[in-house]
């Protein structure tokens, strides 16, 4: 009888093992699903809107600009220096929007909302990270340090203002000139012996001084005047989504900007627009405008391009909203409209730089 029981259990063992494997697989799938959903939620939480101000890196968001302007109004600390610090401490990283091309934020800024490399324990705790430092002679070395963690960028910018007041008042009290402020504060903020010089370079390169005479109300008025017009149609949104993710039917290769644009339209289910870049303008300019104001989402923007090929064919891209253009420059690129126009120095059929925007095939998609 005992032998029969043992044999019965052994005969059931493969079934029991299979059941256990199925249960484990289901649990693993559910865990993976939870991870994906959690990651998606985190990405949505991190999503932010790039500033509408022209010529400023795309990783600088509305929240950062408004935070800098608020602390400027409250404390008198130049907003230009604040944003220059964000660029220097956290910019051109590989996290968040633009990160795949080095136009995102640092991990510390994107995941932990610490824009200025402030060490210690913040309102949301602390995180240990490796960081580069310098000796007084300029020799580089690395350490692992605890950095403050914040719930959002506004909280971080406010904490910076408090830190400046508590620790740097002997250097910055009464200083109103932005460059002098950067020099004084920068002499103590970091071990980088060229820290202040780098801040001023950012202030010069991106014309951040315009922030120093701006209020939050001024900025919000500017936002409203440069917002994307009206509600976009489904096809406009589809074009923008395909363009900004480089998912058209034609890959990015040198001298094929018009083909890339046509491939985006084709992927959106529209007729394939034919012709080179300047053809787009010559054939369909009646559907568009030479004004940079109120460019419709998904419209094709036309410029003169650069170099010899630009002088013959010009250049085109797709306006994807928020003052930005997606285009093929030999590789995939997303730039602000002003940046996009700035490098187009060729003269193509009498046009130099910005030409205008059009709807391919004279087919308005915003109606």
Same-domain status, 116 and 216 = yes
pLDDT for 52 equals 55
Q: Is 23 inside a domain boundary?
A: no
pLDDT for 46 equals 37
Residues 6+ apart with CB under 8 A from 190: 117
Same-domain status, 218 and 310 = no
The answer to whether the beta carbons of residues 355 and 290 sit under 8 Å apart is yes
Give the pLDDT confidence of 62-74 residue by residue, as tens digits: 899 999 999 999 9
Q: In 3-state terms, what secondary structure has residue 103? A: coil
Residues 6+ apart with CB under 8 A from 361: 270, 271, 273, 284
The Cα–Cα gap between 185 and 168 comes to: 7
C-alpha separations of 78 from 83, 161, 176, 189, 225 in Å: 9, 11, 7, 16, 24
Q: Is 27 inside a domain boundary?
A: no
Please tell me the total count of domains within the chain. 2
Cα of 15 vs its chain's centroid, Å: 53
Domain boundary among 192, 225, 258: 225
pLDDT for 5 equals 40
What would the DSSP string read from start to end of 306-367? SHHHHHHH-EEEEEEETTEEEEESSSEEEEEHHHHHHT---EETTEESEEEEE-GGG--S--
CATH number for the domain including 204? 1.10.530.10
The conformation of residue 99, written as its DSSP 8-state character, comes to G
Q: Please state the pTM of the whole predicted model.
A: 0.56
Give the pLDDT confidence of 74-127 residue by residue, as tens digits: 999 999 999 999 999 999 999 988 788 888 899 999 999 999 999 999 999 999
The answer to whether residue 11 scores a pLDDT higher than 80 is no
Q: Is 38 inside a domain boundary?
A: no
Largest CA distance in the chain: 102
Residue 282 domain boundaries? 234-362
Same-domain status, 184 and 280 = no
Residues 6+ apart with CB under 8 A from 129: 107, 108, 144, 145, 147
pLDDT for 44 equals 36
CATH number for the domain including 299? 3.90.1720.10
Per the DSSP assignment, residues forming a β-bridge with 351 are 348
The answer to whether residue 3 scores a pLDDT higher than 70 is no
Domain boundary among 225, 257, 280: 225
Average pLDDT over residues 319-336: 91
């Amino acid at each position: 009888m005992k032998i029969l029981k043992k044999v019965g259990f052994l005969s059931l063992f493969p079934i029991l093992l299979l059941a256990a494997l199925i249960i484990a697989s289901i649990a693993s799938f559910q865990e993976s699903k939870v991870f994906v959903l959690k990651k998606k939620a985190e990405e949505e939480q991190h999503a932010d809107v790039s500033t509408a101000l022209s010529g400023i890196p795309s990783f600088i968001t509305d929240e950062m600009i408004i935070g800098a302007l608020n602390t400027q109004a409250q404390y008198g600390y130049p907003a230009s220096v604040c944003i220059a610090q964000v660029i220097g401490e956290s910019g051109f990283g590989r996290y968040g929007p633009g990160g795949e091309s080095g136009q995102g934020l640092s991990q510390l800024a994107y995941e932990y909302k610490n824009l200025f490399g402030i060490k210690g324990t913040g309102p949301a705790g602390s995180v240990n990270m490796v960081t580069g430092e310098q000796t007084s002679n300029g020799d580089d070395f690395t350490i692992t340090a605890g950095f403050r963690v914040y719930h959002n960028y506004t909280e971080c910018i406010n904490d910076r203002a408090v830190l400046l007041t508590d620790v740097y008042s002997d250097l910055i009290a009464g200083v109103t000139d932005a460059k002098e402020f950067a020099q004084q504060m920068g002499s103590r903020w970091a071990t980088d012996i060229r820290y202040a010089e780098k801040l001023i370079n950012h202030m010069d390169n991106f014309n951040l001084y315009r922030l120093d005479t701006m209020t939050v109300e001024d900025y919000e008025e500017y936002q409203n005047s440069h917002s994307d017009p009206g509600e976009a149609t489904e096809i406009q949104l589809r074009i923008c989504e395909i363009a900004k993710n480089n998912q058209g039917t034609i890959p990015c290769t040198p001298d094929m900007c018009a083909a890339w644009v046509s491939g985006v339209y084709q992927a959106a289910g529209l007729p394939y627009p034919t012709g080179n870049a300047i053809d787009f303008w010559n054939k369909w300019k009646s559907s568009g405008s030479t004004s940079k104001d109120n460019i419709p989402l998904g419209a094709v923007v036309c410029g003169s391009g650069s170099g010899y090929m630009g002088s013959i064919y010009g250049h085109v891209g797709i306006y994807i909203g928020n003052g930005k253009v997606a285009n093929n420059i030999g590789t995939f690129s997303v730039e602000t409209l002003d940046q996009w126009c700035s490098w187009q120095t060729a003269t193509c059929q009498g046009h130099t730089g910005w030409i205008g925007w059009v709807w391919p095939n004279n087919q308005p998609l915003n109606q």
